[in-house]
Amino acid sequence: MLHKLKHYSNISVLKSVYFARFHPYLTYSILNWGKANKTTLLPLIRLQNKAVRTLEYCKTKTTVLYSKHKILEIPNFFELSVAKFMYYFHNGGLLNHFDNYFSEVASIHKYQTNIKQDLLLCKNVIYPE
């Protein structure tokens, strides 16, 4: 769709179409699949690179195009989504269902470590007994 539109419209229209028709499919449920193997994500990354190159009608390095158009690559968008999730977890912005998903390291042992305030994913939530 972007490839056909690039001959008839400007970059702002193409960018709007990218964010309306392409970006939601890449970012939907990214917290579930965003940490998949690089080989699993590679087809999606290539597809996103192709779409971003279409915005500029050229074959330059995609890192320049991503920063120019303020588009996050899939791994970076995953990191942002995890950061947002943890922010909402710490500030009570999530559903009560997530309250038992994490526990502080300090609750597991009493040693003074550098990571005592870090959070661990509770195994009994993921693998119920």
Q: Please, what are the averages of pLDDT over each run of 10 residues along the chain (129 residues)?
A: 66 84 88 88 91 80 86 91 85 75 64 60 52
| CA separation for the pair 3, 7 (Å, rounded) | 8
Give me the pLDDT at residue 127, please.
47
Cβ neighbours, 10 Å, residue 116: 14
| CA separation for the pair 50, 22 (Å, rounded) | 11
- The DSSP H or E segment spanning 121 is strand 119-121
Question: What pTM does this model have?
Answer: 0.74
Task: Provide the residue ranges of all domains of the chain, joining segments of one domain with +.
Answer: 2-93, 95-129
Q: Which residues neighbour 72 within 8 Å (Cβ) at sequence distance 6 or greater?
A: 66, 80
Q: Which residues neighbour 18 within 8 Å (Cβ) at sequence distance 6 or greater?
A: 2, 51, 52, 55, 71
